Amino acid sequence: MEDGLRKPGTVYLVGAGPGDPELITIKAAKALEKADVVVYDALIQKGLLGMAPKDALMLYMGKRAGRLCPSQEEINDTLVEYAVTGKTVVRLKGGDPFVFGRGGEEVLALGAAGVPCEVIPGVTSGIAVPASMGIPVTHRGVSGSVVFVTGHPGSGLNDPVDWEGLATSVSTIIIYMGLTRLPEIASRLIAAGRPSDTPAAVVSQGTGEGQQQVIAPLGELFSAARKNGIKTPALIIIGPVVGLREKFATLAAAALPAAPVSDGIA
């Protein structure tokens, strides 16, 4: 699609990483530096927006559960609207654009409109947040497999996750957007064979400002999270690797955040 003789600008679908502005990639930072328009989501820290030119147009189009938010179609239309005028548009997303970030839907919409786009990967929170806490998602002799799943299937959709199948087939389970459904998820996993005393953690605002985290056995995790005031958005980590945190945190203390943490039920 072209506006007269003007060629459409490029849309960069940029993964901003898990929260800490210093965890953005060099390539992502370079895209921000040349942006005319930045369309950013709810997980973006303010420090990242400062990487864009001062005269860049900043458009907040974040999504939050239980709040009135722009639809995905509205976001797609906004990207196309500015790109067809020749603007360089950065769609700034938390984590990685293709890990529960709806980046695929935006690529399809841009392609249908004839707008060129480039995907710039980001460090997904499912790997970065546990690592920042001293939890390796895999570890020889402890965890040889890890799975990333969504705890929020979306309005009108069937649950795409086979919780019963995952209970005993995967060592480490990383759940995005699952805090509100945690009692149901934990119950299904335990009923299908995952021990109720499996070490587990819930982390809110991982690696970013206001990070909070709680560690407790799987069967007590939701109660511990509620008592400690953990709120969405949150990441859930389930598996024996969580039990390695105390040792790893001691050995790698300089690299770990000074965020509040509750081990067990407070």
Catalytic residues: 41, 63, 177
- 124-128 long-range Cβ contacts below 8 angstroms, 24+ apart: 124/15, 124/18, 124/95, 124/96, 124/99, 124/148, 125/18, 125/19, 125/94, 125/95, 125/176, 125/206, 125/207, 125/235, 126/95, 126/99, 126/174, 126/176, 126/235, 128/17, 128/18, 128/23, 128/206, 128/207
Token output for 169: 């087939």
Q: How many CB atoms lie within 10 A of CB 225?
A: 26
| DSSP code at position 134 | T
